[in-house]
Structure 1
């Protein structure tokens, strides 16, 4: 597997891990028979963790498709790997800023992550201009 493909897996794990600690730490208050109970998410940290989790679910498909498209179209693997690692780093920072209630920085990080996804997605179109 390539580094970029491992980053796809890490991106998946990141959105799962963004909500799991909140559920574990609030064990007595989380009812697994009602995982979407809105009263559990009234706590501000739990609500922000849920938001980070949901945003991770939303961003994952585009990232996964962009990486696979770039790899299938034989773009420079080093560039795909570097952009994928950068995306995961930005997403980790995004989760921390989301849970830490830093909305401006969170929006900046989201924009950077989206731009990285766009770059990966359009690598096949730019392949002839890239060093192989």
Structure 2
């Protein structure tokens, strides 16, 4: 019997989702003489100010980093739900560890593709990576649902 590390994937996922935001903040500050607008960092006027004051390539990368961060936050409930359901259903540790570990690796790849890919034809690799990672979570939820339905039905 192997140890179950899947729950530890939750804080790891949160950190992975925060990294693109930190990176975006860092590159925009470096390109903007160390200035970061912290009073309204998500404001439209703030984005417009950055767009005017930094090179287009840097602003684009900043936007993509923020997009990767937001996507990570949007997908966090599905990830946490899948991990919790898998554990509630007492799925075997190797399944939980493999799915959670694979998902986290795919999220790293997804984030790198999101931030650094600028050509449309390569952007579909990001979409495919997102689809593959999300499919892993849905697999875990369905597997947990099947096991819980069987346990409930047999009592």
* 1:6-57, Cα deviation, whole Å (9 max, x unpaired): 1111111111111102212332242112211223664100010011011001
Tell me whether 1:34 sits opposite 2:48 in the alignment: no
**Contact 2:25–2:36, Cα closer than 8 Å, also in 1:** yes
For residues 65 and 57 of structure 1, what CA distance do their matches in structure 2 show?
13
**Gap runs ≥5 in structure 1:** none
Separation (CA, whole Å) in 1 of partners of 2:47 and 2:85? 38
Q: Is the 8 A contact 2:114 2:123 kept in 1?
A: yes
Q: How does 1:75-94 map to 2 (within 5 A)?
A: 75-94=91-110
- Residue in structure 2 matched with residue 54 of structure 1 by the alignment: 70
Please state whether the residue corresponding to 2:47 is helix, strand or coil: coil
CA contact (8 A) 2:89 2:145 kept: no
**Deviation (angstroms), 1:126:** 4.0
Contact 2:9 2:101 in 1 (8 A): yes
CA distance in 2: counterparts of 1:97 and 1:104, whole angstroms: 9
Match of 1:20 in 2: 22
1:36-79 Cα distance to aligned partner (Å, 9 max, x none): 12236641000100110110011111010111111011111210
TM-score (normalizing by structure 1): 0.88
TM-score normalised by length of structure 2: 0.76
Residues 99 and 67 (structure 1), Cα distance of their counterparts in 2 relative to 1, 3 Å cut: same
Q: 2:6 is matched with which residue? A: 4
Aligned residues: 128
- CA RMSD in angstroms, aligned pairs only: 1.8
The higher radius of gyration belongs to 2
